Amino acid sequence: FDTPQDAAKSLAAEVAALIRSRSAENKQVVLGLATGATPLPFYAELIRLHKEEGLSFANVVSFNLDEYCGLPHEHKESYWYFMHQNLFNHIDIKPENVNLPSGMLADADIPAHCAAYEQKIKDCGGIDLQILGIGRTGHIGFNEPGSDDTTITRQVHLDDLTITDAAPAFGGKENVPATAITMGVATIMGARKVALMAWGDKKASIVQKAVEGPVTIDVAASYLQKHPNASFYLDSAAAADLK
Ligand code: F6R
């Protein structure tokens, strides 16, 4: 696509069609959602579709990919805050249908929470469409290099490059949480459809590795080459290194 806005509009139109077709059958849609700068134009378009074109999210169940450990809901960098600020507060999704990993658990309680998160995704029938961004480490969710395709929801350490990229928002690297809870590569691969968005020249090199490089544990997004229904939504800058 020429611009992020063009790409985001196209993906949002697909999502709207999915939501409407399921709603016509009185069925739910399960969406996997991402945070970060990348999906902002996509969420803005979903909000516009709700406000101007009557798109209802009443039949949508959402599962976010990840959450930082140690951040309460009201922390401005928590993903709970981000999702409410940038999407949920502006649409008619039911609060009880919104799911994010908890960032405020004692370490000992995290494994059971992660297992329950996986189970809830299964109980909802699995993810129909998983929205993704990509980090410069090749992470999807917070599946940093070293995350293989058997990984499920768990606590992870963030890569130094990921912490560096997050530092400005936190006012310095020392304020960025060292760990997060993230869906695993296997959780993401279990979605029936995957849509990854990436914009700008800073993502061009990792997008090339993910799409055209070997499938490798060093680039979690490269596993998507093995997914039967995965698409990348790129602006021309992010696509610039593709052969
Ligand atoms: C966010 C997430 C991450 C981001 C990635 C890109 O929930 O799981 O994988 O998608 O770090 O972040 P931005 O979009 O800020 O460049």
Is 4-234 in CATH node 3.40.50.1360?
yes
pLDDT tens sequence across 150-193? 999 999 999 999 999 999 999 999 999 999 999 999 999 999 99
> Which whole number is the average pLDDT over 30-42?
98
ipTM: 0.99
User: Which residue has a Cα nearest atom 10 of ligand 1?
Assistant: 133
Instruction: Choose among 196, 197, 199: nearest CA to 238.
Output: 199
Instruction: Choose among 211, 220, 213, 95: nearest CA to 156.
Output: 220
Binning pLDDT at 50, 70 and 90, where does residue 23 land? very high
pLDDT tens sequence across 132-153? 999 999 999 999 999 999 999 9
Binning pLDDT at 50, 70 and 90, where does residue 18 land? very high
Distance 212 CA to ligand 1 centre (A): 20
pLDDT at 217: 98
All structural domains of the chain with their residue ranges: 4-234
Q: Which two tokens stand for residue 77?
A: 């960098």
Give the E-state strand segments of 28-65 in sequence order.
Answer: 29-33, 60-64
Angle at 189 between CA 186 and CA 191, to 5 degrees: 120
Output the ligand 1 site: residues, CB below 6 A. Answer: 34-38, 65-66, 133-135, 139-142
pLDDT at 195: 99
User: Which residue has a Cα nearest atom 2 of ligand 1?
Assistant: 141
pTM attached to this predicted model? 0.98
Distance 21 CA to ligand 1 centre (A): 29
pLDDT at 231: 98
pLDDT tens sequence across 69-90? 999 999 999 999 999 999 999 9
Radius of gyration of the chain (CA): 17
